[in-house]
């Protein structure tokens, strides 16, 4: 059986491919400056919103957000699996596709049938997002612009949650980082969306999706936007210039070291704040609430007492509530208090949950 296609060959194939030639053989394109435009083949339209960039090697539709490289286009347009699209593109370019010889016969995965069903489901949902009136109406009603990009070489992250006595003990993720092409295209999406946003949230999960975060922060600050970052890892230099970062205790300790007492913690937090040029640092402290550090002061908010069932999404809830309140004109202190209340609500629910308006603002 044929082995896997080397990643180095795939990268070289994409880099050398003439995407205008590939797309142009299937879509009528007209030159528009340094790019080419045409009617999108993935959704019905009368005005061209489909753009092909020969210099960047990708296509993008501003109407349905279809996007990708030459390989991704062949997969979507010709309904090919990833290896088939690589083979087709290589044939157009007169190249032979090499295969890695592992010396072992290719084994049939016990989950092949399940994977096949998942791929079919993926295609159904992708088509629905472009053509289903119900799906489109729902997204518009919620003000959601997903701006999804397809990375043919990226599998969906598998998350394994370990539960004990109705509480999550830990989570194990099985994944790999996205391609350079998709990351570059997401940066372009970010720049286009920037003028329509009042506050920017950058949640760094350490998955590779924020490869260009330093440039994103600079662009947002130049545009006069507040930037909130949920950090990850031990290199906070990449968050320099952001407005507010929201680490938890473990995340902050990884960067500033272990503190002896509250006075030492304040000193270390404010030193980091000064070093990165931040407006504030909001430390989430679990059962002990939160502490907001500014250049010359700090204030703490105790956690609201309730049984903790699942901390999934607590950090996301904090930064999202904080951003909404700041965008609405609330003071930073008032926004922190409400974010603390929202976090206390969601950790009292099992699974990924949200805090409703009624829970945040109960009638007296």
Q: Which residues have a catalytic role annotated? A: 316
- Measured CA to CA in angstroms, residue 272 lies from 233, 253, 305 at distances of 15, 12, 30
Instruction: Calculate helix-pair angle for 7-16, 70-78, nearest 10 degrees.
Output: 90
Rounded to an integer, what distance in angstroms lies between the CA atom of residue 228 and that of residue 184?
21
**Would you say 256 and 272 are in contact if contact means Cβ atoms under 8 Å apart?**
yes
Strand partners, 159: 173
Rounded to an integer, what distance in angstroms lies between the CA atom of residue 279 and that of residue 242?
8
SS3 73: helix
Rounded to an integer, what distance in angstroms lies between the CA atom of residue 40 and that of residue 30?
13
- Of 80, 208, 95, give the one whose Cα is nearest residue 152: 80
**Would you say 292 and 298 are in contact if contact means Cβ atoms under 8 Å apart?**
yes
Q: Hey, CA dihedral for 356, 351, 290, 173, is it positive or negative?
A: negative
Rounded to an integer, what distance in angstroms lies between the CA atom of residue 156 and that of residue 160?
13
List helix spans (H) across 201-248.
213-222
Rounded to an integer, what distance in angstroms lies between the CA atom of residue 247 and that of residue 281?
8
């Amino acid at each position: 059986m044929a082995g896997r296609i080397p990643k180095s060959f795939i990268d070289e194939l994409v880099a050398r491919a003439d995407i205008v030639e590939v797309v142009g053989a299937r879509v009528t394109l007209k030159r528009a400056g340094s790019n080419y435009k045409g009617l999108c083949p993935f959704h019905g339209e009368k005005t061209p919103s489909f753009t092909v960039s020969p210099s960047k090697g990708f296509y993008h539709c501003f109407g349905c957000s279809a996007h990708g490289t030459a390989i991704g286009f062949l997969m979507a347009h010709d309904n090919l699996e990833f290896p088939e699209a690589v083979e087709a593109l290589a044939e157009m370019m007169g190249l032979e596709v090499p295969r890695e010889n592992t010396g072992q016969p290719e084994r049939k995965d016990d989950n092949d049938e399940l994977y096949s069903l998942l791929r079919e489901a993926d295609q159904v949902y992708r088509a629905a997002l472009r053509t289903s009136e119900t799906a489109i109406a729902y997204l518009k009603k919620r003000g959601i612009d997903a701006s999804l990009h397809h990375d043919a070489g990226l599998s969906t992250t598998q998350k394994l949650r370990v539960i004990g006595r109705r509480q999550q003990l830990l989570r194990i993720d099985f994944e790999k980082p996205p391609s350079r092409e998709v990351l570059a295209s997401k940066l372009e999406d970010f720049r286009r969306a920037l003028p329509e946003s009042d506050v920017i949230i950058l949640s760094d999960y350490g998955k590779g999706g924020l490869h260009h975060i330093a440039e994103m922060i600079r662009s947002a600050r130049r545009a006069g936007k507040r930037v909130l970052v949920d950090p990850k890892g031990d290199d906070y230099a990449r968050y320099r210039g952001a407005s507010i970062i929201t680490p938890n205790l473990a995340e902050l300790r990884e960067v500033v070291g272990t503190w002896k007492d509250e006075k030492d913690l304040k000193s270390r937090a404010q030193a980091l704040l000064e070093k990165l040029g931040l407006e504030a640092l909001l430390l989430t402290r679990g059962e002990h609430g939160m502490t907001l550090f500014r250049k010359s002061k700090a204030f703490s908010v105790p956690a609201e007492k309730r049984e903790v069932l699942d901390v999934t999404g607590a950090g996301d809830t904090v930064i999202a509530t904080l951003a909404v309140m700041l965008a609405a004109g609330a003071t930073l202190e008032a926004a922190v208090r409400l974010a603390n209340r929202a976090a206390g609500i969601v950790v009292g629910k099992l699974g990924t949950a949200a805090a409703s308006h009624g829970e945040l603002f109960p009638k007296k």
